[in-house]
Structure 1
Amino acid sequence: MNTLTRATAAGTALAALLALTACSSKAKDDDGGGESAGGVKTGVGVTGRTIDLGVLTDMTGVYATLGKSVTQAQQLYVDQANADGGICGRKLKLTVRDHGYDPQKAVAVYTELEPKVLGFAQFIGSPFVAAVKQRVARNKGLVLPQAWSANLLGSPYVRVVGSTYDLETINAIDFLMKEKGLKKGDKLGHVYFEGDYGESALKGSKHMAAESGLTVVEQKIKPTDNDMTAQVSALKKAGVKAVVISAGPRQAASLVGVAAAGRFDVPVIGNNSAFAPQLLATQSGPALTKNYYVASPTLPIGADTPAAKKLVADYEKAHPADSLDNGVVAGWTAASVFGEALKKACADKDLTREGVDKALLTIDDFDAGFGVPQDFTDPKAPSSKESVILQPDKKATGGMRVVRKPSTAEAAESFSPSGD
């Protein structure tokens, strides 16, 4: 938390500097706020020709694989939208910055781009989004984060796409209890990142434990902790019967691999960002296909839907050297949601930040083609409470197959995520 506080202070100082030095030399077709041709109101990030959206991603840190897939999928959406004439007579543009999952850099690049873009189609990292949430509330530029902390709820300008980590964890444990032998009276291990992501997920496991008569054995880790030997040893000694991991792909692979090597044969389930199909080619691959599961806010990239099949074909054509994963789905879905809000704002003749925020509030049943409708009418709630349970599978497109279709646990239905 101290690091994020320092980062926020540094970001605030940089914002002041940028405010003093930023020039107003916009393109001739950008009135900086007013009406353009056709009577459409415009503002920050919108000219008569372009709509500029920011992307704050991780290309070099703990979520580098996810960040690359999300960003490439969003660029694919932009390229296809522009090939079809754009939105509201304007071409979409992504301005991308890599923060490397570093808190100071994440806040600094947000500060750099915020005065220049309409909003953000991507912002990876719950702690970093939380660090600028109050500033987002002031400037009103819509943020669709690739982050699912319940602490991000409550703002009409930061909108979580899919179920939050606490709800997702409740759904994950429901799967363990109904299909993997976990029962009342058992101990459940939970390995989690310190900070918003892990602690949001932990609230879900504690709620489910209280509802179902489980005992949670906690193991808190840092994003820089890659060897889970100590955590596995502690959980094995405690006698846990299943494990939830709310961390990154590297930590999940280490935990499952170490557990297998130590003959600690219990099911492990991760939150949606705790897997990458590239792991199946590592020495942990066999253990992952046997004992590992992932809770996801949507069907996987290999889903048997027309939209999924088209996205697979289009993505493979655009990036033939890159593997498919669920980051492609997350990126495409967020870009599609932002695009839908832009279309509605255009119809209302208001492409200002306020107009786009208002347009999103009217979207109550949007599905980008991956099986889970999204409802954005209530800023205090995630857009969905459903989760899909997936299992790693080398033969499946994208390395994941569905073992439980979209559903919401009874305990999740009655649970209110802790937004402000």
Structure 2
Amino acid sequence: MNRSFPAAVAVSTAVSLVLLGCSPKASQSAAAPGVDGDTISLGVLTDLSGAFVAGGTDTLRGLQLQWDEINAKGGVCGRKVELAVEDHGYNTETAVSQYTEMEPNVLAFQMLLGSPMVSALTPSIGKDEVLTIPSSFAGNLLESPLIALTGTTYRQEMSNAVHWLEETGKLKGGKKIGHIYLQGEYGEDALAGTEDAAAELGLGEVASQVVKASDKDLTAQVSALRSSGADYVMLTTAPTQTASAVSVAKALDYDADFIGSTFTYVPSLLDGSAKGPLAEHFYQTSALAPLSSSQEGPARILEAFENRWPDQMPNPPVVHGAGAAEVMRTVLKATCAEGDLTRENVENTYRDLTGVDTGGLLPALDFTARGEPPTHTSYLLRPAPGQPGGLQLLTELRPNPGTR
């Protein structure tokens, strides 16, 4: 079987990257798939060629960097960790097929990218009792005890952002809010957060426009929100769509500010024609700490990234990958301390973890409250040319935790 991957995946690393179904696997007991005497295999189903290729590629890089460091120090549970990687190209049917092939050969899924993919696979994840960390923060995923969000939800981060607008006086004088959102759980969850906050604050109806993953030109959506009188436009889109939205607004002389969800921005956007409007009019509310943070985790991963790929700029999802790997390491280490490394024990241990510290890659995480995100904190960021990851931290947002 041949499959083409970006350079980030093809690079030889201490973490073995294999394509299950293409390479033979050591025999494994039925009680602990993906575990043998020397190795723990974890699955990664991600987007390396579709709408979220930038985020998928750098999330994988973050995973690689963190597990390389862990493996260099002896691994976890006396074993080295191997990542089994497949590219679903942001196609749900492809992801479902890949999951079916990969699931019997891994202990857990270290990363599953895409809200539509995670939602489609949630019944199988429950049936197979396989702990899964999504590269998604959609609130509906909280309903599954086996899906481990590693940050707050899109709904919460958008609610945080609207409350910040109110608290800083930016909504005085009857200012209005609009929202452009990607069809599916990603966008719909974020829109719910905007509408929650607008209702709580008495801001009136939120004008909204939907886009599909294939949409590249957002002229119609931006024009509609301009006509609605929206002064602030919330975005839950792919990065290229973010660039289109702010560029169209500039061309229309539409003086709105934009606030994007976690995965709406990559620093390479600052190399294009959207640089000016992004710098002037774009904010991001994110579950991930910026790479420019002075905290130990982001600083360490930034240094490792620059050493590995000196000619490339890291995207913010590097932080998510590294943070997710550290969460999984914590789960596996705690499981081994309590007993056998089985899927059942992994799930039980994960649900008992509180105060999980990732060195500032992510906020402190508490997995003990079922149906709630492990944190309600998000970060408010702005584009920053020349800064690592192309973002600078403005403030942390800590809301009333009642909004999921």
* TM-score, normalization by structure 1: 0.88
Partner of 2:380: 389
Amino acid at match of 1:258: V
Which of 81, 85, 105 does residue 74 from structure 2 map onto? 85
**Is 1:195 aligned with 2:194?**
no
The question of whether the paired residues in 1 share the 8 Å contact of 2:65 and 2:301 is answered with no
What's the CA shift for 1:180? 6.4
Which of 126, 130, 133 does residue 141 from structure 1 map onto? 130
The question of whether the paired residues in 1 share the 8 Å contact of 2:54 and 2:315 is answered with no
Percent pairwise identity: 37
Large movers: runs of 4+ above 4 Å? none
SS in 2 for 1:80: helix
Partner of 2:49: 60
1:106-147 Cα distance to aligned partner (Å, 9 max, x none)? 111111111111111111111110111111111111100010
Partner of 1:366: 356
The question of whether the paired residues in 1 share the 8 Å contact of 2:66 and 2:301 is answered with no
Change in Cα spacing, 1:146 to 1:59, as seen in structure 2 (3 Å) is: same
**How do 1:254-269 residues align onto structure 2 when only pairs under 5 Å count?**
254-269=244-259
Change in Cα spacing, 1:330 to 1:180, as seen in structure 2 (3 Å) is: farther
**How do 1:6-405 residues align onto structure 2 when only pairs under 5 Å count?**
27=26, 30-33=28-31, 43-179=32-168, 181-183=170-172, 185-214=174-203, 215-370=205-360, 372-404=363-395
SS in 1 for 2:363: coil
Amino acid at match of 1:262: L
Q: What CA distance in whole angstroms lies between the structure 2 residues aligned with 1:225 and 1:49? A: 46
SS in 1 for 2:353: coil
What's the CA shift for 1:172? 1.3
Q: What CA distance in whole angstroms lies between the structure 2 residues aligned with 1:283 and 1:343? A: 47
Change in Cα spacing, 1:174 to 1:359, as seen in structure 2 (3 Å) is: same
Computed over aligned residues only, the root mean square deviation of the Cα atoms, in angstroms, reads: 1.5
1:331-368 Cα distance to aligned partner (Å, 9 max, x none)? 00011100110000111122111111111112111121
SS in 2 for 1:237: helix
SS in 1 for 2:210: strand
Q: What CA distance in whole angstroms lies between the structure 1 residues aligned with 2:154 and 2:236? A: 9
Q: What CA distance in whole angstroms lies between the structure 2 residues aligned with 1:184 and 1:212? A: 13
Q: What CA distance in whole angstroms lies between the structure 1 residues aligned with 2:230 and 2:25? A: 60
Q: What CA distance in whole angstroms lies between the structure 1 residues aligned with 2:91 and 2:169? A: 37
The question of whether the paired residues in 2 share the 8 Å contact of 1:122 and 1:143 is answered with yes
Q: What CA distance in whole angstroms lies between the structure 2 residues aligned with 1:196 and 1:259? A: 26
1:367-408 Cα distance to aligned partner (Å, 9 max, x none)? 21226111111231111111110000102211000112x222
Change in Cα spacing, 1:414 to 1:381, as seen in structure 2 (3 Å) is: closer
The question of whether the paired residues in 2 share the 8 Å contact of 1:176 and 1:242 is answered with no
What's the CA shift for 1:178? 2.8
The question of whether the paired residues in 2 share the 8 Å contact of 1:169 and 1:205 is answered with yes
Q: What CA distance in whole angstroms lies between the structure 1 residues aligned with 2:381 and 2:391? A: 6
What's the CA shift for 1:298? 3.1
Amino acid at match of 1:314: A
* TM-score, normalization by structure 2: 0.91
1:148-196 Cα distance to aligned partner (Å, 9 max, x none)? 1111012221111111011011011122223361247432110001111
Partner of 1:7: none
SS in 1 for 2:379: strand
The question of whether the paired residues in 2 share the 8 Å contact of 1:26 and 1:32 is answered with no
Structure 2 spans left out of the alignment, 5+ residues: 1-20
Q: What CA distance in whole angstroms lies between the structure 2 residues aligned with 1:57 and 1:205? A: 28
Q: What CA distance in whole angstroms lies between the structure 2 residues aligned with 1:133 and 1:297? A: 22
Change in Cα spacing, 1:349 to 1:414, as seen in structure 2 (3 Å) is: closer
Q: What CA distance in whole angstroms lies between the structure 1 residues aligned with 2:256 and 2:332? A: 46
Partner of 1:36: none
